[in-house]
């Protein structure tokens, strides 16, 4: 069965950096685009970034553009999110999700909490 | 940017009742609209895509309708496990609506 497991979350100071990972299993990872989506505490869902199946194309939400970088290693079935210049408003649970039909999210991980605080 | 507005923010109903949730887009999205369910402490789950197609394993009591700017998610008879938050999402720039919480009355 499809499994997505995020890791790498934690507490970081404003201006700091953190890298999240998402380990995929149960499907052919290299055939699918992948997304990062976040949810601030008690708030709704916000799409963050997408990377095409082969890593050649990436898109970002305006709120993270220039600070976050999405990447993948298809040999390791792993998705990454490098987060730099973190702000308090980046505090959220970060989910990785598999792309479906180039516009939907059909499988989600359990999430990884990132807290930006001094 | 397309904005999705969901209403009501909270819906208080009893098990067995019918739930009708609304999602309105600021401009036409054709039928490129999906619905997700999120229970406390869990990741969202895809329910409906392309406005009216149920995702794999989703019970028939969930149905979606609409096109253009106005969409509806209907739960025909609420089961205890259906009390959750529901989000609509459009695919041109992946944005989500603000959510509707379906709570037990």
- The percent of residues in chain A predicted with pLDDT above 90, rounded, is 97
State chain A's maximal CA–CA distance in angstroms: 41
Report how far residue B43's alpha carbon sits from residue A40's, in angstroms, rounded to the nearest whole number: 13
pLDDT at B93 over 90: no
**Does the beta-carbon distance from A101 to B97 stay under 8 Å?**
no
Chain B environment of A110 (Cβ under 8 Å): 42-43
Q: Which residues pair with B7 in a beta bridge?
A: B22
Helix (H) or strand (E) holding B97: none
pLDDT at A7 over 90: yes
Q: Smallest CA–CA separation between A65 and chain B, in Å?
A: 14
Task: Flag the least confident range among A7-16, A64-73, A84-93, B91-100.
Answer: B91-100
């Amino acid at each position: 069965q499809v499994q997505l497991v995020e890791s790498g979350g934690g507490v970081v100071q404003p201006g700091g950096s953190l890298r999240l990972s998402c380990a995929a299993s149960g499907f052919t990872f290299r055939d699918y685009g992948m997304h990062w989506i976040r949810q601030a505490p008690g708030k709704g869902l916000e799409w963050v970034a997408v990377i095409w199946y082969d890593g050649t194309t990436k898109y970002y939400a305006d709120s993270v553009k220039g600070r976050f970088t999405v990447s993948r290693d298809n040999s390791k079935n792993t998705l990454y999110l490098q987060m730099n210049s973190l702000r308090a408003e980046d505090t959220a649970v970060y989910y990785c999700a598999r792309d479906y039909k180039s516009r939907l999210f059909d499988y989600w991980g359990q999430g990884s909490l990132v807290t930006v605080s001094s | 940017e397309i904005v999705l507005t969901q209403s009501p923010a909270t819906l208080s109903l009893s098990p067995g009742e019918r739930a009708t949730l609304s999602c309105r887009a600021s401009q036409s999205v054709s039928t490129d609209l999906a619905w997700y369910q999120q229970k406390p402490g869990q990741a969202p789950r895809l329910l409906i895509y392309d406005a009216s197609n149920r995702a794999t394993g989703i019970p028939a009591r969930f149905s979606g309708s609409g096109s253009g700017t106005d969409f509806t998610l209907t739960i025909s008879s609420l089961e205890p496990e259906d009390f959750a938050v529901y989000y609509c999402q459009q695919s041109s720039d992946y944005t989500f609506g603000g959510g509707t919480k379906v709570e037990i009355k």
